[in-house]
């Protein structure tokens, strides 16, 4: 794998290695990727916990055909607008 960095990023990486924070550029990139994986895993587990908390406290609603259709419609609209789907809940905005 070959990765290209902008000059500012190259300078940052070199400085980090020169200062002794990492022994090599490869170590820095591996650490960055590992941190990214851990952050994503943490967000996933936090979302699972939030869902479990909602169920435990009765903050749920049935997933009816109408609700599913609205979720799909909202997703399509956001995709057409080239906007990411950022709602961490799989519910319509007015639910």
Tens digit of each residue's pLDDT (9 = 90 or more) over 37-68:
999 999 889 989 998 999 999 998 888 999 89
Give the Cα separation of 38 and 89 in Å (integer). 21
**C-alpha separations of 25 from 19, 66, 73 in Å:** 12, 52, 45
Is the entire prediction scored with pTM above 0.85? no
pLDDT at 93: 52
- Cα atoms in the Cβ-side hemisphere of radius 13 Å centred on 18: 6
């Amino acid at each position: 794998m070959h990765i290209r960095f902008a000059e500012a990023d190259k300078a940052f990486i070199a400085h980090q290695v020169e200062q002794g924070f990492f022994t090599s550029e490869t170590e820095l990139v591996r650490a960055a990727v590992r941190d990214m994986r851990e952050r994503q895993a943490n967000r996933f587990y936090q979302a699972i916990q939030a869902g479990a908390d909602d169920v435990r406290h009765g903050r749920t609603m049935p997933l009816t055909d109408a609700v599913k259709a609205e979720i799909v419609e909202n997703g399509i609209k956001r995709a057409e607008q080239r906007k990411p789907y950022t709602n961490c809940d799989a519910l319509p905005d007015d639910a």
